[in-house]
Amino acid sequence: MYELRTPVKVSEAVNRVMNHKKKGEKEFIELMEAGDRYLAEDIVADHPIPPFDRSPLDGFAVRSEDTENADSTHPVQLEVVETVGAGHVAKGPVKPGQAIRVMTGTVMPDNTDAIIMFELAKEFTQEDKTYIEIKRPFKAGDYVSKKGEETKQGEVVVRSGTKITAGVIAVLATFGYHRVPVAKKPVIGIYATGTELLEIDDNLQPGKIRNSNAYMIISQIRQAGGEPKYYGKLKDDFNLCYNAVTQALNEVDALITTGGVSVGDFDFLPEIYNRLGAEVLFNKIAMRPGSVTTVADKDGKLLFGLSGNPSACFVGFELYARPWIRSYLHSGKPYVETVKGKLTADFPKPNPFTRFIRSKVEFKEGKVFASPVGMDKSQVVTSLAYTDALVAVPGGSRGYKSGDEVDILLLTSEGSENPLKDPAKSRDEKL
Ligand SMILES: Nc1nc2c(c(=O)[nH]1)N[C@H]1C(S)=C(S)[C@@H](COP(=O)(O)OP(=O)(O)OC[C@H]3O[C@@H](n4cnc5c(N)ncnc54)[C@H](O)[C@@H]3O)O[C@H]1N2
Ligand code: MOO
Ligand SMILES: [Mg+2]
């Protein structure tokens, strides 16, 4: 006899998982290794940017008051007394009637307050001295890049929980972070269960299939920012599975299993959670695929029991494991980002439960479009190759037509601060 399970809504299942979220510790790593990690501290400017008044152009640094009366009929001539490149500091202060030739990035010489770009100054030589002629006045501050105009000292420039992109790396380097405070990656164990599973280099045999889920999950964990620890595959044998799960739990921050979580005679995960005394957060979700997704907590460690069906396994990971991993990484945007967009094809199947249709997203002329990819069944693996979005359609709907507005979950976006909502029925379906 199998137990009757009570399905929870998708949003409720996400909530229950996130009620058990944990924040990873902080660790310091080399800047060169920090790409795609998550900041574990606010980055505060310990100096202004720019750190000094500087020239944003190749030109001449002048005292603006010397140019006050310049016009095309009464040009002003200034003697060029020095040439300074970026990285150098002018030797002396500029006296009335003098100018200094400076390159882009050079600190403003003392007494100068304006920059005249090369193109606006006529240069000439007279008796071994160089002069410039200017035919218009310049104001104090003209073309000067002011100290702190970009960032003031003490400003928070990047918030803790931000994913470290190339741009963040530039900021970290600017402020001298050769060691970067990042959130420690959660170690996520993976076990694939199923007597039918072959290694990927095995030839097919009657009744057997290759284990694709484990490798898919490893990749999903990496993309979410976690550290996968692959333990291999297990035959459907209760004691073998129970011991393996118990052992692995000692070594990981969370454990993902695939398969064996439904109501079949050889689906042992439910009894394993029971025997472990784990708190089962839910064991049925009102969604397809992935209705059997089960999550349990054993002494503060989460066990994600993902379905054996590849598409159900994929979706279960994205909806429940990914936000947990992202919040472990301190991400301020742990949830999957949802946008409104249009379906590009009919999806005539009625939906008793919320359905996540594997899709490919496109942005055209400022609008978002999602095209379902391939067969929409839990068992399917090949359509996953083209999936970068999920179209969420609500339970109880009659099916959808091309052009209908739907919720689109963007799997390659950094994420959202807003928890995933259950998709709402369209207005005409409610009538
Ligand atoms: N009587 C019922 N039967 C089933 C129900 C139900 O409610 N009542 N739910 C169905 C749904 S929905 C799903 S989803 C599956 C879930 O099954 P399990 O999570 O227990 O997974 P398995 O039984 O172990 O395998 C299912 C399927 O997936 C293949 N598989 C398993 N592991 C892998 C892997 N690592 N790589 C690739 N493919 C894998 C396996 O061979 C099976 O074909 O249960 C339904 N049944
Ligand atoms: O629980 Mo399922 O709907 O075939 O994945
Ligand atoms: Mg099963």
Token pair of 234 as six digits: 């297990």
Q: Is the CB of 308 under 6 A from ligand 2?
A: no
Q: Is residue 3 part of a domain?
A: no
Atom of ligand 2 nearest to the CA of 315: 5
Same domain, 221 and 205: yes
Give the residues across from 393 on adjacent strands: 355
Q: Is residue 100 part of a domain?
A: yes
Q: Is the CB of 307 under 6 A from ligand 2?
A: yes
Q: Which domain holds residue 125?
A: 59-134
Residues 63-74 have a mean pLDDT of: 97
> Please, are residues 227 and 185 in contact by the beta-carbon 8 Å criterion?
yes
CATH of the domain at 345: 2.40.340.10
Per-residue model confidence (pLDDT) at position 26: 98
Same domain, 350 and 392: yes
Closest CA to 314 of 234, 401, 218, 391: 218
Question: Does the pLDDT at position 154 exceed 70?
Answer: yes
Same domain, 179 and 33: yes
Same domain, 193 and 239: yes
CATH of the domain at 244: 3.40.980.10
Boundary (domain end) residue, out of 274, 302, 328: 328
Same domain, 244 and 303: yes
Residues 223-251 have a mean pLDDT of: 98
Peptide bond into 93 cis (omega under 30): no
* Residue from 288, 351, 358, 381 whose mutation best tests the ligand 2 pocket (most atoms within 8 A of CB): 288
Same domain, 281 and 158: no
Token pair of 388 as six digits: 């970068």
Token pair of 235 as six digits: 């035959």
Atom of ligand 2 nearest to the CA of 290: 5
Same domain, 175 and 85: no
Question: Does the pLDDT at position 75 exceed 50?
Answer: yes
* Model confidence, pTM: 0.93
Rounded to 10 degrees, what is the CA torsion of 199, 203, 205, 211? 30
Same domain, 109 and 126: yes
Least confident of 5-14, 189-198, 236-245, 372-381: 372-381
Q: Is the CB of 310 under 6 A from ligand 1?
A: yes
Same domain, 309 and 380: no
Helix (H, G, I), strand (E, B) or coil at 15: helix
Boundary (domain end) residue, out of 276, 298, 328: 328
CATH of the domain at 42: 3.90.105.10
Q: Is residue 145 part of a domain?
A: no
Split into its structural domains, the chain has a count of 4
Distance CA 374, CA 379 (A): 12
Q: Is residue 394 part of a domain?
A: yes
> Please, are residues 27 and 82 in contact by the beta-carbon 8 Å criterion?
no
Q: 409 CA distance to ligand 1 centroid (A)?
A: 24
Same domain, 156 and 44: yes
Q: Is the CB of 263 under 6 A from ligand 1?
A: yes
Q: Is residue 142 part of a domain?
A: no
Q: Is residue 349 part of a domain?
A: yes
Token pair of 170 as six digits: 């530039």
Question: Does the pLDDT at position 3 exceed 80?
Answer: no
pLDDT digits (tens, 9 = 90+) for 278-317: 999 999 999 999 999 999 999 999 999 999 999 999 999 9
Boundary (domain end) residue, out of 272, 299, 328: 328
Hey, CA dihedral for 411, 416, 421, 423, is it positive or negative? negative
- Give nearest CA residue, ligand 1 atom 8: 263
Distance CA 41, CA 27 (A): 10
Same domain, 192 and 177: no
> Within 10 A of 320 (CB to CB), how many other CB atoms are there?
26
Distance CA 391, CA 336 (A): 12
Q: Is the CB of 259 under 6 A from ligand 2?
A: no
Q: What is the share, in percent, of the chain residues with pLDDT greater than 90? A: 94
Distance CA 212, CA 381 (A): 8
Distances (CA, A) of 41 to 22, 25, 171, 225, 335: 16, 11, 14, 17, 20
CATH of the domain at 123: 2.170.190.11
Residues 153-177 have a mean pLDDT of: 97
Per-residue model confidence (pLDDT) at position 431: 44
- Which residues, at least 6 apart from 249, have a Cβ–Cβ distance to it below 8 Å? 189, 255, 298, 301, 303
- When the pLDDT of each residue in the chain is averaged and rounded to a whole number, the result is 96
> Please, are residues 212 and 310 in contact by the beta-carbon 8 Å criterion?
yes
Per-residue model confidence (pLDDT) at position 397: 85
Q: 385 CA distance to ligand 3 centroid (A)?
A: 24
Q: Is residue 4 part of a domain?
A: no
Question: Does the pLDDT at position 239 exceed 60?
Answer: yes
Q: Is residue 398 part of a domain?
A: yes
Same domain, 353 and 400: yes
Write out 149-207 in H/E/C secondary structure: CCECCCCEEECCCCECCHHHHHHHHHCCCCEEEEECCCEEEEEEECCCEECCCCCCCCC
Q: Is the CB of 292 under 6 A from ligand 2?
A: yes
Q: Is the CB of 162 under 6 A from ligand 2?
A: no
Per-residue model confidence (pLDDT) at position 350: 86
Residues 419-427 have a mean pLDDT of: 84
